[in-house]
């Protein structure tokens, strides 16, 4: 375990928001609780808020190298079952991205934390030269088997050239990073001038998050940072970007999958509801969900960030 200073302002003056709920050795379990489809809600490190800038993050936490090693070992077959919902979700995000992207031709896109590459498939179908980086060896190989350009690494390890991409995306990724400011600065370096970065994450200051408090489902071991529109904009500015739009965005999921997420709170009820919708033939029904606690920031590169 290691203590870390605020990734936004560097201060180590914090206040405790939610105490550690992990047992002494449970943070050593490895990749199981880092799967995208993990339902380990309420299982998290101590979560603090920086008294200086307001950034919320996990502290202390496992060391960076140990976290990365666990992500490399992630296998998530449940994610493959949710493909249809992911396609609908990513298609809408791509629609919004394309309305804001400044480049009409020779479009090159990088999806950071691309997992199995569903977003890359959609972008490629629309004429983008789509690339992805993904630490999970299982997920990266799954994407490569579909003919996608996926590098099994972190963004920093991939060492792309300066000014190489027109767009960088991070869909539900920045909250997992051990050093998000470093990754944003690397994104700035590899983006062309005026290039677009798109970041989707949870909003710790949303009404739903405040209402749920310690029971907010996104309080999880895999999430190391909890942004608000205010703190994410501040970090993007520090990394050399100018925010041009922020919007609340939900997602699409199968009804059976959505009900299975209740198991962390009410196991018997969750299993009963899943059996019911399965019997009714509704388990695979795709439904929209938007509780107002997820948002996307779109920002342009305005300068080379100081590294």
Q: Is residue 267 part of a domain?
A: yes
- 270 and 297 part of one domain: no
Separation of alpha carbons 235 and 286, rounded Å: 35
- 127 and 273 part of one domain: no
- 63 and 156 part of one domain: yes
- 271 and 245 part of one domain: no
Report which DSSP code applies to 290.
-
Domain that holds residue 18: 14-250+290-301
The predicted structure's pLDDT at residue 29: 57
Q: Is residue 227 part of a domain?
A: yes
**CATH of residue 85:** 3.40.50.150
Name beta bridge partners: 294: 202
pTM for the model stands at 0.93
Give me the number of domains the chain comprises.
2
Q: Is residue 306 part of a domain?
A: no
Name beta bridge partners: 131: 110, 149
- 34 and 160 part of one domain: yes
Arithmetic mean of pLDDT over the chain: 93
pLDDT at residue 304 greater than cutoff 60: yes
pLDDT in tens, 234-292: 999 999 999 999 999 888 988 888 888 887 778 888 889 989 989 999 988 999 999 99
Name beta bridge partners: 197: 168, 299
- 124 and 273 part of one domain: no
Q: Is residue 9 part of a domain?
A: no
- 172 and 115 part of one domain: yes
Q: Is residue 174 part of a domain?
A: yes
In terms of Cβ atoms closer than 10 Å to its own Cβ (0-12, 13-18, 19+), residue 253 is buried
Calculate ∠ Cα 92-233-231, nearest 5°.
Answer: 110
Q: Which long-range contacts (CB under 8 A, 24 or more apart) does 20-27 make?
A: 20/44, 20/45, 20/46, 22/221, 27/1, 27/61, 27/62, 27/221
- 102 and 150 part of one domain: yes
117 neighbors 50 (Cβ within 8 angstroms): no
- 241 and 277 part of one domain: no
pLDDT in tens, 138-162: 999 999 999 999 999 999 999 999 9
- 33 and 160 part of one domain: yes
Separation of alpha carbons 288 and 214, rounded Å: 25
- 207 and 284 part of one domain: no
Q: Is residue 284 part of a domain?
A: yes
Hey, is 127 helix, strand or coil?
coil
- 237 and 262 part of one domain: no
Hey, is 24 helix, strand or coil?
coil
């Amino acid at each position: 375990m290691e203590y870390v200073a605020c990734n936004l302002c560097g201060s180590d003056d914090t206040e405790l928001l939610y105490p550690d709920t992990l047992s002494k050795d449970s943070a050593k379990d490895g990749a199981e609780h880092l799967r995208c489809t993990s339902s380990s809600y309420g299982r998290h490190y101590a979560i603090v808020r920086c008294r200086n800038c307001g950034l919320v993050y996990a502290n202390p936490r496992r060391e960076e190298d140990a976290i990365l090693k666990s992500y490399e070992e992630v296998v998530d077959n449940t994610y493959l079952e949710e493909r249809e919902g992911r396609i609908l979700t990513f298609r809408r995000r791509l629609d919004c991205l394309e309305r804001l992207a400044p480049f009409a031709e020779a479009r090159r896109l990088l999806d950071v934390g691309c997992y199995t590459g569903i977003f890359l498939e959609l972008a490629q179908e629309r004429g983008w030269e789509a690339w992805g980086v993904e630490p999970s060896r299982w997920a990266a190989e799954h994407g490569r088997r579909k003919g996608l350009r996926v590098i099994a690494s972190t963004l920093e390890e991939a060492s792309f050239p300066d000014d190489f991409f027109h767009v960088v995306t991070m869909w539900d990724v920045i909250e997992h990073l051990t050093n998000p400011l470093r990754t944003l600065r690397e994104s700035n370096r590899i983006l062309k001038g005026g290039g677009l970065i798109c970041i989707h994450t949870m909003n710790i200051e949303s009404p739903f998050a405040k209402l749920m408090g310690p029971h907010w489902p996104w309080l999880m071991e895999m999430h190391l940072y909890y942004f608000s529109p205010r703190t994410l904009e501040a970090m993007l500015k520090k990394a050399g970007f100018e925010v041009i739009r922020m919007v609340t965005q939900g997602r699409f999921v199968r009804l059976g999958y959505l009900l299975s997420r209740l198991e962390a709170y009410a196991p018997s009820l969750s299993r009963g509801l899943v059996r019911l919708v399965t019997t009714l033939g509704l388990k695979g029904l795709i439904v929209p969900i938007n509780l107002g606690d997820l948002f996307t920031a779109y920002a342009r590169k305005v300068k080379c960030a100081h590294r």
